[in-house]
Amino acid sequence: MEEKILIFGHKNPDTDTICSSIVKQILSEKDGKTNVKAVRLGNVNKETQFALDYVGIDAPDLIEKVEEGQKVILVDHNEFNQSADGIENAKIIGVVDHHRICNFQTTDPLYYTAKPYGCTATILYQDFIAKGIEIEKKEAILMASAIISDTLLLKSPTTTKHDEKALGELGRIAEIDINKYGLELLKAGTDLDDFSEKELINMDAKKFETKGVKCVIAQVNTVSIPDVLKRKEKLEAEIKSAITESGLNLFVLAITDILNSNSQIIALGDRTDIIEKSVKLEDNMALLEGVVSRKKQLLPMVENNI
Ligand code: MG
Ligand code: MG
Ligand code: MG
């Protein structure tokens, strides 16, 4: 049997990464390419698990690294430092992504679909339409879940008209009330009680390096910021260990209130001055009103001030 092409999203997988990997596999198979297999690079979070349970499917298999020459398709990311270990020596044959292109290169030509939408699943939705391939209920729910997650139910500034259109259409196919399902899905991801502080700061963390400054911006969703802040001391201790372990200059943890669309940030490291160019930190914290998006709001705030 021919070796499978692996499809995966970024480390610390979110709902778009997991659902888009699975949907990309379904789309490829329906398009006659059957030698593909969705996999994941980390634990499935509770929000994603809610979506998988709703559809009644298992999470993709976990892989630790990719072997040299392994054929892969990347979804929901392209930066090598967010990808599988060994990605430098894998053979990337395709990318479907909605992020900036950064720290990315290949030796061979490839399929690359980049669109500045709110979610990878919106790009996949358009691929189904463009190829005239039927969207069934299962993949409709998976894509809808990804869009709800990435756009916080279309409230994030990353949302485009394409995401809105796709979500409306997918909700109709899936026969779900988007607002009701969406709130349940997002709330499932805010149940943080079972997680250690170390797990919380790693759950949705992305690493960046700009002009030699090493940063992590991590995000947790909640319906109560004060609830999460009860663990502030322990969270700070874990952030400090992460800074030491990885030689980071700045670690920003954004605690995002999904109901009111605000984020409380905790910023630590030897370069918190970068944050203080935008907002004054008190007790290592600041409340950022209307800020919910790492990509469109937090990342530019950090990078533009380095
Ligand atoms: Mg993602
Ligand atoms: Mg995404
Ligand atoms: Mg996200």
Cα-based distances in Å from 146 to 17, 87, 89, 100, 122: 8, 24, 29, 19, 9
Among 91, 125, 134, 163, residue whose Cα is nearest residue 19: 125
Query: How far does the centroid of ligand 3 lie from the alpha carbon of residue 189, in Å?
Result: 12
Residue 140: is its pLDDT beyond 70? yes
Query: How far does the centroid of ligand 3 lie from the alpha carbon of residue 14, in Å?
Result: 6
Higher model confidence: residue 259 or residue 126? 126
The mean of the pLDDT values for the chain is: 96
Following DSSP, what letter does each residue of 139-185 receive, concatenated?
A: HHHHHHHHHHHHHTTTTSTT--HHHHHHHHHHHHHHT--HHHHHHHH
Query: How far does the centroid of ligand 3 lie from the alpha carbon of residue 89, in Å?
Result: 27
The whole model's pTM is what?
Answer: 0.91
**CB-based neighbours (< 5 A) of ligand 2, an ion:** 16, 76, 120, 150
pLDDT at 2 (0 to 100):
65
Distance, C-alpha 105 to centroid of its chain? 21
Interior/surface letters 66-89, b for 16+ CB within 10 angstroms, e for the rest:
beeebbbbbbbbbbbebbbebbee
Query: How far does the centroid of ligand 2 lie from the alpha carbon of residue 285, in Å?
Result: 27
Please, what sign has the CA dihedral across residues 110, 126, 295, 9? negative
Query: How far does the centroid of ligand 2 lie from the alpha carbon of residue 13, in Å?
Result: 10
Among 198, 283, 281, residue whose Cα is nearest residue 245: 198
* Architecture of the domain made up of 197-303: Roll (3.10)
Among 133, 141, 77, residue whose Cα is nearest residue 104: 77
Query: How far does the centroid of ligand 2 lie from the alpha carbon of residue 17, in Å?
Result: 6
Ligand nearest to the CA of 8: 1
Query: How far does the centroid of ligand 2 lie from the alpha carbon of residue 111, in Å?
Result: 18
pLDDT at 10 (0 to 100):
97
Residue 1: is its pLDDT beyond 60? no
Residue 32: is its pLDDT beyond 70? yes
Query: How far does the centroid of ligand 1 lie from the alpha carbon of residue 202, in Å?
Result: 14
How far is it, in rounded angstroms, from Cα 168 to Cα 232?
Answer: 38
Residue 247 buriedness (CB in 10 A; 0-12 / 13-18 / 19+):
exposed
| Radius of gyration of the CA atoms of the chain, in A | 19
Among 232, 231, 45, 20, residue whose Cα is nearest residue 128: 20
What is the CATH class of 5-187? alpha beta
Query: How far does the centroid of ligand 1 lie from the alpha carbon of residue 1, in Å?
Result: 32
- The two structure tokens encoding residue 178: 């988007």
How far is it, in rounded angstroms, from Cα 98 to Cα 100?
Answer: 7
Domain ranges in the chain? 5-187, 197-303
pLDDT at 250 (0 to 100):
98
Ligand nearest to the CA of 121: 2
pLDDT at 3 (0 to 100):
83
The tens digit of pLDDT for each residue in 240-285 reads 999 999 999 999 999 999 999 999 999 999 999 999 999 999 999 9
**CB-based neighbours (< 5 A) of ligand 3, an ion:** 14
Residue 231: is its pLDDT beyond 90? yes
For residue 67, give the amino acid letter. E
**CB-based neighbours (< 5 A) of ligand 1, an ion:** 14, 16-17, 76
